[in-house]
Structure 1
Amino acid sequence: MVRAGARFMATGPAQSFLRRYGWRIDRALIKATKGHLSMSMVMPEVLLTHTGAKSGQQRSTPLTYFTDGGRVIVVASNYGGVRHPAWYHNVKANPRVTLTSRGYRGTFLGEEVLGDERDRLFELATQFMPNYAGYQKTTQGRRIPVVAFTEVR
């Protein structure tokens, strides 16, 4: 199911919809259901609530995620765009965030993963969602960051 969903999301019309409208709908749906539902019924989604690097305002961004060693892992693919997504810059500036998924809400610290660990996690991500490998090809040389969130206890 995940691979089928990923293949569908890789189509031109689906990507156009997701870039323009999908994240807004998903953000509202995740908030309204306290993380129990998202537009992506086959891929796990987390609502990342972060503080704007310049504005200081709270922002919310729905992201596909997976877990590794107790950490929540997200890929800053920006659908293969040539720039890093805004949420990535915000997390770099203000790493303390809130993650909401499947009825759970917690405070986490985000940190970009580098080197061999980044490569390992990106490979895992491409197995989970093959679109990431295609996104890397369309970034015009931008290396897609991987961010790990560790819960603050």
Structure 2
Amino acid sequence: MSVLGALTRRVGHHHWFGAVARLFVPADRLVGRLTRGRVVALGLIPSLIITTTGRRSGKPRSNPLLYVPDGGAYVVIGSNWGRAHQPGWALNLLADPTAEVAVRGRRVAVRAEVATGAERERLWQLLVTEWPAYRTYVRRAGGREIRIFRLVPDGRAAPGGPAGRG
């Protein structure tokens, strides 16, 4: 892990970090799109771009997210930086679990599964190992259930093939 990556993980617990980081999400989306998903979160932490279908608009909605690999799947969490409400992308997945992720320059069609029970605990441990600040986000969210999603490749061809062509 780089020195900057380690520093990012240390300051991730601070309340101001979430506020500042949210300001960079539009730029992160742009960099992710321009690099076809090869660079997200400045390459400091393992990240992907998820594209869900808006539950009200029906339009594609893309968001950069930290992830951890789990076999051939990608694990993400709807922490919303510890805010009291769930992020829109998580609500979109609950309404329609089909999505697409761009990871390291590849586009992959996925189906979201909400983790529960022992599986959720196992995935939680993977997530907090990668980003310890998730523990802080749970406290900050005031007891709100923070959903963990396992994004499983579903074998559908992703539109346009490699990320960025579509």
Class of the TM-score when normalised by the shorter of the 2 chains: over 0.9
Residues 3 and 128 in structure 1, CA contact (< 8 A), matched pair in contact too = no
Residue type of the partner of 1:10?
H
Report the CA distance between 1:95 and its aligned residue.
1.0
Shift of 1:106: 1.2
* CA distance in 1: counterparts of 2:89 and 2:118, whole angstroms: 23
- Partners of 1:151 and 1:72 in 2: how far apart? 9
- Alignment partners' CA distance in 1, 2:141 and 2:17: 18
Q: Deviations over 1:63-104 (max 9, x none)?
A: 000111221000110001111111001011111111001111
Q: Which of 74, 92, 117 is 2:76 aligned to?
A: 74
Out of 97, 100, 110, the residue aligned to residue 98 of structure 1 is: 100
Secondary structure of 2:41's counterpart equals coil
Letter of the structure 2 residue corresponding to residue 86 of structure 1: G
Percent of counterpart pairs with the same letter?
A: 30
Task: Give, as a single letter, the amino acid of the residue that structure 1 aligns with 2:17.
Answer: A
Q: Cα offset for 1:146?
A: 0.4
- Structure 1, unmatched stretches of 5+, are none
Q: Please provide the CA RMSD for this pair.
A: 1.3
Q: How does 1:37-48 map to 2 (within 5 A)?
A: 37-48=39-50
Q: Does 1:16 align with 2:5?
A: no
SS class of match (1:53):
coil
Query: 2:18, 2:144 → 1: CA distance?
Result: 19
Query: Does residue 107 in structure 1 map to residue 109 in structure 2?
Result: yes
The 2-side partners of 1:42 and 1:71 are apart by 21
Confirm or deny: 8 A CA contact 2:48 2:66 kept in the other structure.
yes
Checking the alignment, whether the CA contact within 8 Å between 2:114 and 2:149 is kept in structure 1 is: yes
Paired residues, what number?
A: 152
- Three-state SS of the structure 1 residue aligned to 2:109 is strand
Runs of 4+ in 1 over 6 A off after TM superposition: none
Compute the displacement of 1:41 (Å). Answer: 2.0
SS at match of 2:20: helix
Q: Distance in 2 between matches of 1:140 and 1:5?
A: 24
TM-score (normalizing by structure 1): 0.93
**2-structure distance, mates of 1:124, 1:39:** 19
1:92-127 per-position Cα deviation (integer Å, ceiling 9, x unaligned): 111111100111111110111111111111122111
CA offsets per residue over residues 114-147 of structure 1, 9 Å max, x none?
1111111112211111000111111111121100
- Would you say 1:132 and 2:125 are equivalent positions? no
Measure how far apart 1:30 and its partner are: 0.2
